[in-house]
Amino acid sequence: MAKRTMEEARELDRQDSLKDFREEFYIQPETIYMDGNSLGLMSRRAEQALIGLMDSWKAHGINGWTGGDRPWFYLPEELSAKMAPFVGAKAEEVIVTGSTTSNLHQILATFFRPEGKKTKILADELNFPSDIYAIKSQLELRGLDPELHLVSVKSRDGHLIEEEDIISAMSDEIAVAILPSVLYRSGQVLNMPALTEAAHRHGILIGFDLCHSVGAMEHDLHDWGADFAFWCTYKYLNGGPGSTGGLFIHERHFGAAPGLAGWFGSDKEKQFDMEHDMTAAVHAGAYQVGTPNILSMAPLAGSLELFAEAGLGRLREKSLKLTRFMMDLVDQELDGHGFRVANPREDGRRGGHVYLEHEEAARICSALKAEGVIPDFRAPKGIRLAPAALYNSFEDVYETIRILKKIMDEEAYKKFENKRGIVA
């Protein structure tokens, strides 16, 4: 392979059809932001959308629920229609609501109905902890022992989960499977269509945590036949810290009574009748619970505009090129420094970030931050670097690895403690 150079990086940036989107974001001077898979940067449009909602509150007070340019009462449905193409769903199958974990609780409260032999939930041992906490608590609420009723698919190497191992675990005792679209640590993309088909052959309902894929790659949830999915919006979608999450319910399940019922799941024409017998919405909106967090939704109105203009296909293509460029530079510049590329190298199995392992990972992350590069540390020895296609450049990638090589050559990381901060 030819040597990767700064000149090549700059030429790739000149050819980049998405390069102008970088100007839409607030990028701090002398900083290379590589943590967009944890929290995306603020865009000017997200800022303006939030200011607009604040102004409507200022100008209209309570009348903002049904008045002004963007009535709050209908904001979840407005944003859901814009969000649906990002997950390959019909508009009525998506609702912007809750958070990742609260939406998973809603899914399980609604669709996990242990009966006969089917009393178990299938997950994997590399899943994000919050999903496992929710699954265990839902089992316990039904008087089931998680040690017996949570089936956790094992990893062969501590980094990847093989689809054949997941399918082998799909016994006639499994009622529901909850799996990530992309593993949060290694960035492995799971084959969602194949897993969905296998689950349905075994009479298993299946849903996916899309937190590390939504906004970074294309999905086709409706046509794949996935039963449900849930996700956050503050990573690749750049909705801001704690921005409102998303929920997908396949239309064949419409009419299932929400396990966690609340008044915003009502038919909007009936909601203010104040009847104690709920008339639920006839679409995914039925699975809302309480009053929407309007100010936490607002930035999405601006952010989703940017994604619609950029197009997920172009974003995914650039993302794969960025991560390929980064992996090549790691191989080229960091050989002998103790790093291991622990994410899949194949394009079809790789999400939006590169995952490096090193025994001194925590100290190296501290040294990178001191040099203006913002990485993401994952205990015990993981470094995640996520070049986001909307605002990172190939030059950013080249500079990141150049700085990392300098840190290793000079052993600058030894000035720092090898432990994570409170938030990593």
pLDDT tens digits along 94-133: 999 999 999 999 999 999 999 999 999 999 999 999 999 9
Residue-level pLDDT at 319: 98
Dihedral of alpha carbons 46, 50, 55, 60, sign: positive
Residue-level pLDDT at 121: 98
Residues 374 and 110: their CA atoms lie apart, in Å, by 40
Q: Is the Cβ–Cβ distance between 408 and 359 less than 8 Å? A: no
Domain boundary among 266, 282, 308: 308
Q: Angle 129-141/100-111 helices, nearest 10 degrees?
A: 30
Is 35 within a domain?
no
Residue-level pLDDT at 40: 98
Stated as kind and residue range, the H or E segment containing 102 is helix 100-111
Q: Which residues contact 303 (CB under 8 A, 6 or more apart)?
A: 40, 43, 45, 46, 49, 233, 237, 238, 239
Report residue 164 as tokens.
């054949």
| Residue 331 is labelled as binding a ligand | no
| Residue 267 is labelled as binding a ligand | no
| Residue 131 is labelled as binding a ligand | yes
Cα–chain center distance at 269: 33
The CATH number for 170's domain is 3.40.640.10
| Residue 33 is labelled as binding a ligand | no
User: Is the domain of 317 the same as that of 391?
Assistant: yes
Q: Is the Cβ–Cβ distance between 87 and 210 less than 8 Å? A: yes
| Residue 196 is labelled as binding a ligand | no
Residue-level pLDDT at 424: 63
The CATH number for 344's domain is 3.90.1150.10
| Residue 180 is labelled as binding a ligand | no
| Residue 223 is labelled as binding a ligand | no
Backbone angles phi, psi at 214, to 5 degrees: -65, 130
Domain boundary among 292, 308, 324: 308
Domain boundary among 308, 325, 358: 308
Find the domain containing 343 and state its range.
Answer: 6-30+311-415
User: Is the domain of 130 the same as that of 177?
Assistant: yes
Query: What are the b/e assignments for 159-192, b being 16+ CB within 10 Å?
Result: bbbebeebbebbeebbbbbbbbbbbbbbbbbbeb
Q: How many domains does the chain have?
A: 2
| Residue 31 is labelled as binding a ligand | no
| Residue 100 is labelled as binding a ligand | yes
User: Is the domain of 82 the same as that of 207?
Assistant: yes
Per-residue pLDDT tens digits of the chain, which is 424 residues long: 789 999 999 999 999 999 999 999 999 999 999 999 999 999 999 999 999 999 999 999 999 999 999 999 999 999 999 999 999 999 999 999 999 999 999 999 999 999 999 999 999 999 999 999 999 999 999 999 999 999 999 999 999 999 999 999 999 999 999 999 999 999 999 999 999 999 999 999 999 999 999 999 999 999 999 999 999 999 999 999 999 999 999 999 999 999 999 999 999 999 999 999 999 999 999 999 999 999 999 999 999 999 999 999 999 999 999 999 999 999 999 999 999 999 999 999 999 999 999 999 999 999 999 999 999 999 999 999 999 999 999 999 999 999 999 999 999 999 998 776 666 6
User: Is the domain of 243 the same as that of 255?
Assistant: yes
Residues 97 and 80: their CA atoms lie apart, in Å, by 9
Residues 75 and 389: their CA atoms lie apart, in Å, by 27
User: Is the domain of 296 the same as that of 373?
Assistant: no
Q: Is the Cβ–Cβ distance between 377 and 358 less than 8 Å? A: no
Residues 84 and 88: their CA atoms lie apart, in Å, by 6
